[in-house]
Structure 1
């Protein structure tokens, strides 16, 4: 699954209501994960870090630009940081399963949509730039919003890549694709901003400094700041930058008071710095870090229950037979139990339901356990099927190997029947508890009880069929007969009760 990072920068760092509204718009439009939201009042800027699949980040970025354009008036904006628009810059960064070139294509597609639908001028930068002088963001931002207002209309060189040659109150937006960038700030014990600007000038690539450092000096309170973008932390490590700034500061009689990472940072960038300062020898390996070792182990264990909904559905729709119907049956049952828990919580402590408080409190304990148990069965069912497949792949060159393989297949088939059998039993418990509640709960949740019953029954029936499909392959006749009786006792008497209860609830709606 391809993953990218998207880092919209909006020109608002003081009004929390505006920032929250933009974040809400992003979350409503996309299932991309919002990893970090970092605002700076001096810069009057907020950096939002998103991670997700390309289309998810595309949708999130568009929602961000649209919302910011409606809420931020650049004619009334001021702050230390250079900017030209309400959403100043939106970079796409490849993480895994996608190339920088593909991120550039995504940037161009977003530029076309934003310019045509929102009427905002768009400039493309970095890997998506249409000409060399626009690769550098600083060149596009020259003159900032105030200077661009006139230049965009009069200077052909400032014509945007997409959209009108006239700035709306939302300004313009820069969209592009780049590799990972670290925003890193160093504070000095000085109030004279010219000193921070001089140090920034000495270390930045534009003036002969580090190849992958862009730097500026800012007047922040109470001390001045050397603000940097490290565009390639491997080419120019953080520890080299901070030690150089430290030495430069000494020349002016200054010291570093603190440093700040603004937004997200790769783990390896910090480890590079730690290894440098600890002077670790050549025997050191990063997998000696216990958290890294645990991450490695956990990454090898693929748990369906930990997937986001879209990712689970994609896995389900793939050409792999697992997860399949058994996992879905467990999910159905878990949903039924969760709805039961919700109804209990919405009834407990409510006026007019005093007479069912004891029932609801006891039921809540049961439902909370059942939905967790059934959620765990989603993976158990998939793993059981995989166990059967693994047994079939065992060697069978000799008679001994064939015998071992045959025994293992039988063992795994029994497991593959037992797992959905437990799911069926648990779904039946969910149904029985939902029937006890019936229409006694909060009347605003009647439809939820009905849906919970339908889900739990679907889970029961689905689990039963997943047992039945395995039984013909099992040679243990006693196990088969015993299991068939259990299935009959689980499903025969319950369908009519579920249907009757749902009909009664529907009459009350």
Structure 2
């Protein structure tokens, strides 16, 4: 499964109702919200979510659209630099996705935001098309107020997508692809911004400080403190411990010290572990073995119970993306598996009833076992259908001058027709089991067993559609006719 994390930052951290509307917009695309962090001084929200690549692109677009509707930068005030209502949107690889693929997602989103919302878009970091735009600070330089005076006049500020002029209320947005970072804020026990400017400059890499660290001084007026807001772009190169120590050392030169620290958004567990290891000066320590939770995870002792809600979202998200698989054939098999599971539940509840007529126990038990066996077969068929499509695509991708290509394509096409035919046949057989069990089931589960029957009918019809589309490409008329007849007989029983 491919999994991407997105961390849109939008310019609202005080109005909770607006923040929730933006979060709801993201969630409506089928992603899983991980974290929502707002800051009143920054007047900013950092939203984190994960999902399938295409779902994340859509969720980010909805965040941009809702931010455009709700936020006017002309009246926005906050301590954090910003140039857009939705200010920055990074794509981060989590599982089964490369940084290059995330850069492509950034391009796709940028084009959509620029074209449909008419907001200028700048690609940054691994998605940057110009070397100077790899650094987000360069992209955001001047913020909203400065950029609106330059865009359209300064050739270096021409956006990658969208109009070459600022959006009057939503500004501009940076969209990119990056690795996992750590947003680490250090709050000093002083309100002296002159000291803060000196410390931030000497901490950040661009000022000759720590490698892979960005730093900015921010005035926390309500708290009468200076914050050194840092971003660790590579926490393995420069750890939080090093940032804390160096900031403390520089603060001491101004008669100040680090009072508290903050982590904004999510961070990798490894970053905190590195901090602990550096602070404790441990020798011969093996984190995989000696950290209790890590050890429990490695032996499977912390595995969470199945989450049907998440599983349902993952299946629907997999269907919703633009990958060719899973497709209709897999969907038919999954629907049939769900139907069998529902039938098992209805029959199982009936069998537990103390009022059950003993004459019904044997046929209901047989139905329970039969539906369970069918469900396992449908689970395999869902995978088989996707594999059959991949097999056909592999044959089709052979060089056109390969003499074996036509025969391999036909072989794969016949196989791709037989898989959904098998799904339809088993769906019809499962429907017969459910029909036989329905009159014996308890009245409390009547709706469930009937729902199972409707699903099985739908599964058979859907599988049939996938047989038919493959029949049209089979060149052997005898094979095509055989499969057609078998399908018609099957559907007549469903």
TM-score calculated relative to the size of structure 2: 0.68
Distance in 1 separating the partners of 2:439 and 2:67: 46
Pair 1:309-2:305 in alignment:
no
Structure 1 residues 62 and 183 mapped into 2: Cα distance closer, same or farther (>3 Å)?
Answer: same
Query: Paired residue for 1:263?
Result: 265
Distance in 2 separating the partners of 1:130 and 1:188: 38
Distance in 2 separating the partners of 1:384 and 1:167: 52
Cα drift, residue 458 of structure 1:
6.0
Query: Paired residue for 1:71?
Result: 70
SS in 2 for 1:153: coil
Cα drift, residue 284 of structure 1:
2.7
Structure 1 residues 3 and 74 mapped into 2: Cα distance closer, same or farther (>3 Å)?
Answer: same
Structure 1 residues 174 and 283 mapped into 2: Cα distance closer, same or farther (>3 Å)?
Answer: closer
Aligned residues: 380
Pair 1:230-2:232 in alignment:
yes
TM-score calculated relative to the size of structure 1: 0.66
Aligned-residue CA RMSD in angstroms? 4.0
SS in 2 for 1:162: coil
Cα drift, residue 3 of structure 1:
1.3
Pair 1:189-2:189 in alignment:
yes
SS in 1 for 2:210: coil
- Would the aligned equivalents of 1:331 and 1:459 in 2 still touch at CA under 8 Å? no
Pair 1:33-2:35 in alignment:
no
- Would the aligned equivalents of 2:340 and 2:374 in 1 still touch at CA under 8 Å? no
Query: Paired residue for 2:7?
Result: 7
SS in 2 for 1:154: coil
SS in 1 for 2:14: coil
Cα drift, residue 455 of structure 1:
1.9
Distance in 2 separating the partners of 1:325 and 1:142: 52
Q: Deviations over 1:387-432 (max 9, x none)?
A: xxxxxxxxxxxxxxxxxxxxxxxxxxxxxxxxxx9xx89x969984
- Would the aligned equivalents of 1:324 and 1:382 in 2 still touch at CA under 8 Å? no
- Would the aligned equivalents of 2:438 and 2:450 in 1 still touch at CA under 8 Å? no
Structure 1 residues 458 and 333 mapped into 2: Cα distance closer, same or farther (>3 Å)?
Answer: farther
- Would the aligned equivalents of 1:33 and 1:50 in 2 still touch at CA under 8 Å? yes
Structure 1 residues 53 and 218 mapped into 2: Cα distance closer, same or farther (>3 Å)?
Answer: same
More divergent stretch after superposition (285-294 vs 126-135):
285-294
Cα drift, residue 290 of structure 1:
2.1
Gaps of 5+ in 2: 320-324, 348-367, 382-429, 459-494
Within a 5 Å distance, the mapping from 1:434-453 to structure 2 comes to 435-436=443-444, 449=447, 452-453=448-449
Distance in 1 separating the partners of 2:143 and 2:240: 28
- Would the aligned equivalents of 2:11 and 2:44 in 1 still touch at CA under 8 Å? yes
Cα drift, residue 215 of structure 1:
0.3
SS in 2 for 1:224: strand
Pair 1:150-2:144 in alignment:
no
- Would the aligned equivalents of 1:430 and 1:456 in 2 still touch at CA under 8 Å? no
Cα drift, residue 53 of structure 1:
1.4
Cα drift, residue 459 of structure 1:
8.3
Which of 435, 449, 454 is residue 450 of structure 2 equivalent to? 454
Distance in 1 separating the partners of 2:83 and 2:335: 53
Structure 1 residues 294 and 252 mapped into 2: Cα distance closer, same or farther (>3 Å)?
Answer: same
Distance in 2 separating the partners of 1:35 and 1:430: 46
Structure 1 residues 283 and 264 mapped into 2: Cα distance closer, same or farther (>3 Å)?
Answer: closer
Distance in 1 separating the partners of 2:78 and 2:30: 31
- Would the aligned equivalents of 2:91 and 2:176 in 1 still touch at CA under 8 Å? yes
- Would the aligned equivalents of 1:326 and 1:381 in 2 still touch at CA under 8 Å? no
SS in 2 for 1:107: helix
- Would the aligned equivalents of 2:287 and 2:294 in 1 still touch at CA under 8 Å? no
Cα drift, residue 101 of structure 1:
1.1
SS in 2 for 1:214: strand
Structure 1 residues 283 and 49 mapped into 2: Cα distance closer, same or farther (>3 Å)?
Answer: closer
